Structure 1
Amino acid sequence: MNKNIKISINQLQVGHFIRLPISWKDHPFLFSNFKLKSQSQIELLKSLNINDIYYDAERSDLGLIDLKPSANKNASTVVDPEELKQIKAKMESYKQIQIDAQKKLRRNLKKTEQQFERSIAMMRSSVSKLGSRPLNSVSDAKEMITDMTNMLLSSDDLVLHLMTDAKPNDVIFHHSLNVSTMCMMLAKNLNWPRDEVELIGLGALFHDLGKLKIPSNILSKQLPLTTPEKNLLKQHSLMSLNFLKLADSFPEQAKPMITNHHEYLDGSGYPKGLKGDQLDKYSQLISVINEYDNLCNGTKLSKPKTPYASLGLLYKNYKSKLNPEYVGKLIKTIGVYPPGSLIELSSGQFGMVMSVNLNKILFPQIMLYDPIVPKEQAPIIDLEKEDISIVRCLPASALPEKIFKYLSPRENISYAIGNA
């Protein structure tokens, strides 16, 4: 069935799902695709001097319409011109407020992204000093973690933003910074004291550096790894610890989590097959976050999954492997639909979760697909302020090509914290 039927504006009825044929800036409605809820909306459309409009029968409350203008059951409904004028003014005012809010969010995203890139550069610099100036290296990392902790603990209105993709040479740094940030978020929400928030942040920052000693042809190999290659890769956590041998100022308490970030409670992890009480709370927490990040971004043995699907897998399939309290706290911290999730809304629109206010995780900020609006200016809405909800989460493969290109879902899921 043709989903976009061109009809006369005089045939519209309340309950029809429509698509406007004009630019987003040329009408007072917040969206260019929506379901008609009142006769006043129809009258407003008529005031825009539109002759024809696009109608989607599948998303409408009514079935296929009768193509005779007289079939409009609401045709006799009269809307007072002055009332219509006031409604339009309120809509335009609200739309401008939303436009200003979108601009602020984009500025915050840009600012957070710039800080994230600076953190990546600082981390790269810190690692480069480990061999020649290990004390300076650890000191630089501690300073960065202290700054992150200050932000986490001093603000009650923080936002978790989705960052841009990692450059090929920065994947390990993106992953390490991502795991560090999220470990600190969870530690804060578990009411751990400041020194423990900083401790797990520092350990997580260095947890995967051993991969820098793995030959690049193994890390980037497209074919399945051989058994010796797999065994070498599984030694990377011990290699990470070797990086820190000369760094006397690196805290001893943080070292076990580096070694154990691939260990599981049931003993099925590596490199030592530790289980249960053999794993301290830092090791148990970092293993949850490390697993989540690997599910989102994929490994040599698995394809990337959406953040939504990754949380679902952690909750359902890792009950004997990961600390259930920490898994539950992760879901409560970043929401059921974390940044990077591709979703369909009750309005019939598609979008991508861009940010989550950590105090309002049920109402993420979503970038919407709107073919009439250039993707650089794609509308970003706050679910808390709109009468729409998320219907389902989608894999990238389920999106039509034009929507996929518009939303440009990230190949690598990286998060950073900013102020609301």
Structure 2
Amino acid sequence: MGAADVPTAAALAAGALSADTSAAAQPIEPSLAAAAHANAAPADESRAGLQQPVARRADSRSSDDPALAGPPQSGWSGEDPPHAGSHRGELPPVGAPAADALLPVRAHVPPGDAAAPAAQRSGKAQNRPAPPRARDSEAAAASERRVHERRALLAAQREATRVCLRQYGEAAKSLKTAVDNVFSQPEAARQVTEGLTRALLGKMMVDGELSIRVLGEARTDRATAHALNVALISMLMGRVFGFGEDEMLDVGAGALLHDVGKLELPERARHPDARTAPADQALYREHVARGLAIGQRMGLSAGALLVIGQHHEMADGSGFPNQLNVDRLAAAARIVALVNRFDNLCDPAQPAQALTPHEALSLIFAQTRAKFDASMLNAFIRMMGVYPPGSVVQLTDDRYALVTNVNSTRPLKPRVLVYDPQCPADEALQLDLERHGDLRIRRSLRAEQLPDDALHYLSPQRRVIYFFEPAHTIRSDFGQELAA
């Protein structure tokens, strides 16, 4: 991908943040002014048959589903510890000449107010600077409070990561169980798939915003990671568009099993590229029909089967197997087709061909956006951010960083882990760029462009694994310290 093919961040954001997301939306224009519409929600008329946004209920789903056990919201939300700062009074004005100091002070005391001179003396005493020992004591106390606060924030950050890793691991285990049984016990495989989808839905349908985050420590095989990435992001997209419960379950189950037909293909035909023989290319295209047949034997819903059957159809009619255009595609399938393409660009079967998340988003926007529903592409860029989690970036102060979290309300201001050689990597706090108007992302980098010490510190993963959590931010006072 040449430099001329990749839009600038401003151009990409302009399209993503445009307030016009109707079905007749015009081609995305690179206008900086469009960034002011970052909070615009996708219009209902931008897709056929999409429902009105549903109310977000904190108790809409039980977190006791066996597919994804664990205490509800455990470790996800915690109040930031209070911050106590110190205040030092203003220094008094310079005093009178020493000679005048020897003259008696003849203050006017009104009748009956003999205490006035004492009060005046008390007022003067209050304006005097604290003795050096007192100032040192205050500074030491403030420093100790900040150390405790930093430890508390670091502990909360680690706990949030631990919870997400545990939940992701449980989801991956459930999905593997389902896939392992699609032939021998298809009905049991369906039950596990639907249980996993309901568990994920229960954690998504809560009040407040959700943040998409990268899990650098997660480990699983490529097929499982791809299916979970596509399912999680597609369901979050459905949440943005106000999908109802049944539609969310359809998009989740269909996305989890969208490639299940590949289980019947030889390995050489599962991930074709330019070198793949024509016969194997044709065999690869059969995985859609084979997946539909497997899904029918499992007893999947009609909506989930539509996702499996249409996940390679394109909005311009150039997809397969039936060359359907956007008007004939289910809304859930349009979402999954986009997310599937994005994740395949980030994590292809041939690692040497992998793009960074920012490069993948830029390529879709610059070269293939006609293949996808315009309103959904706009919403996808808003939700994932111009620099999606997992992107390696350089900030405007020249420091290197890894994008860790993004919130759709501020796609140009994600949370980042900043390379700081003065702080051990396992003790580094994430920096919320939303809190720092002057600090921005200058450019995206590939991992190999980092100096060796920064590469080891940030540890960007070749396989980007996503999860989600309630949105939260680092307190601004610590953010200022980290940004310095």
TM-score after normalising by structure 1: 0.73
Q: Does 1:324 align with 2:388?
A: no
Question: Relative to structure 1, is the Cα distance of residues 276 and 419 closer, same or farther in structure 2, using a 3 angstrom cutoff?
Answer: closer
Q: C-alpha distance in 1, partners of 2:409/2:157? A: 16
> Any unmatched runs of 5+ in structure 2?
1-130, 472-484
- Residue 151 of structure 1: aligned partner: 203
- Residue 164 of structure 2: aligned partner: 112
Of stretches 339-348 and 214-223 in structure 1, the one that deviates more from structure 2 is 214-223
Question: Relative to structure 1, is the Cα distance of residues 105 and 144 closer, same or farther in structure 2, using a 3 angstrom cutoff?
Answer: same
Q: Does 1:375 align with 2:429?
A: no
Question: Relative to structure 1, is the Cα distance of residues 253 and 132 closer, same or farther in structure 2, using a 3 angstrom cutoff?
Answer: same
Q: Does 1:136 align with 2:188?
A: yes
Structure 2 contact 385–407 (Cα < 8 Å) conserved: no
Q: C-alpha distance in 2, partners of 1:85/1:336? A: 46
Superposed counterparts of 1:68-217, under 5 Å: 90=142, 93-94=145-146, 96-164=148-216, 170-217=221-268
- Residue 230 of structure 1: aligned partner: 281
Q: C-alpha distance in 1, partners of 2:148/2:397? A: 21
Question: Relative to structure 1, is the Cα distance of residues 141 and 411 closer, same or farther in structure 2, using a 3 angstrom cutoff?
Answer: same
Q: C-alpha distance in 1, partners of 2:136/2:397? A: 24
Query: Which AA in structure 2 matches 1:412?
Result: R
Superposed counterparts of 1:397-408, under 5 Å: 397-408=448-459
Which one of the candidate residues 340, 344, 350 is aligned to 2:400?
350
Q: C-alpha distance in 1, partners of 2:419/2:325? A: 46
Q: C-alpha distance in 1, partners of 2:401/2:208? A: 27
Q: Does 1:255 align with 2:310?
A: no
Q: C-alpha distance in 1, partners of 2:287/2:451? A: 39
Matched residue of 1:392: which SS?
strand
> Any unmatched runs of 5+ in structure 1?
1-79
Could you tell me the percent identity over the aligned residues? 26
- Residue 72 of structure 1: aligned partner: none
TM-score after normalising by structure 2: 0.64
- Give deviations 1:3-26, integer Å, cap 9, x for gaps: xxxxxxxxxxxxxxxxxxxxxxxx
Question: Relative to structure 1, is the Cα distance of residues 360 and 107 closer, same or farther in structure 2, using a 3 angstrom cutoff?
Answer: farther
Of stretches 211-220 and 254-263 in structure 1, the one that deviates more from structure 2 is 211-220
Question: Relative to structure 1, is the Cα distance of residues 258 and 381 closer, same or farther in structure 2, using a 3 angstrom cutoff?
Answer: same
Structure 1 contact 209–243 (Cα < 8 Å) conserved: yes
- Residue 245 of structure 1: aligned partner: 296
The alignment of Structure 1 onto Structure 2 pairs a total of residues equal to: 339
Question: Relative to structure 1, is the Cα distance of residues 120 and 247 closer, same or farther in structure 2, using a 3 angstrom cutoff?
Answer: same
Q: C-alpha distance in 2, partners of 1:145/1:176? A: 12
Structure 1 contact 172–209 (Cα < 8 Å) conserved: no
The alpha-carbon deviation at position 315 of structure 1 amounts to 2.1
The alpha-carbon deviation at position 241 of structure 1 amounts to 1.6
Q: Does 1:414 align with 2:458?
A: no
The alpha-carbon deviation at position 218 of structure 1 amounts to 4.8
Q: C-alpha distance in 1, partners of 2:351/2:345? A: 10
Structure 1 contact 166–412 (Cα < 8 Å) conserved: no
The alpha-carbon deviation at position 239 of structure 1 amounts to 2.2
State the structure with bigger RCO (CA 8 A, min sep 6), 1 or 2. Answer: 2
Matched residue of 2:394: which SS?
strand
Query: Which AA in structure 1 matches 2:227?
Result: S
More strand by share: 1
Structure 2 contact 212–468 (Cα < 8 Å) conserved: yes
Q: C-alpha distance in 2, partners of 1:269/1:221? A: 15
Structure 1 contact 224–300 (Cα < 8 Å) conserved: no
Query: Which AA in structure 2 matches 1:263?
Result: E
Structure 2 contact 346–356 (Cα < 8 Å) conserved: yes
Give the root-mean-square deviation of aligned CA atoms: 2.8
The alpha-carbon deviation at position 362 of structure 1 amounts to 4.3
The alpha-carbon deviation at position 98 of structure 1 amounts to 4.0
Q: C-alpha distance in 2, partners of 1:220/1:323? A: 25
- Residue 99 of structure 2: aligned partner: none
Query: Which AA in structure 2 matches 1:124?
Result: K
- Residue 49 of structure 1: aligned partner: none
Which one of the candidate residues 427, 442, 446 is aligned to 1:395?
446
Q: C-alpha distance in 2, partners of 1:218/1:194? A: 36
Query: Which AA in structure 2 matches 1:203?
Result: G
Structure 2 contact 383–407 (Cα < 8 Å) conserved: no
Structure 1 contact 165–412 (Cα < 8 Å) conserved: no
- Give deviations 1:149-198, integer Å, cap 9, x for gaps: 11111231423221247757x21111111111111111111122222122
Q: Does 1:365 align with 2:384?
A: no
Of stretches 117-126 and 217-226 in structure 1, the one that deviates more from structure 2 is 217-226
The alpha-carbon deviation at position 267 of structure 1 amounts to 2.0
Structure 1 contact 102–380 (Cα < 8 Å) conserved: no
Question: Relative to structure 1, is the Cα distance of residues 302 and 279 closer, same or farther in structure 2, using a 3 angstrom cutoff?
Answer: farther
- Give deviations 1:120-170, integer Å, cap 9, x for gaps: 1001111222223222211121111111111111231423221247757x2
- Residue 3 of structure 1: aligned partner: none
Structure 1 contact 183–289 (Cα < 8 Å) conserved: yes
Question: Relative to structure 1, is the Cα distance of residues 84 and 273 closer, same or farther in structure 2, using a 3 angstrom cutoff?
Answer: farther
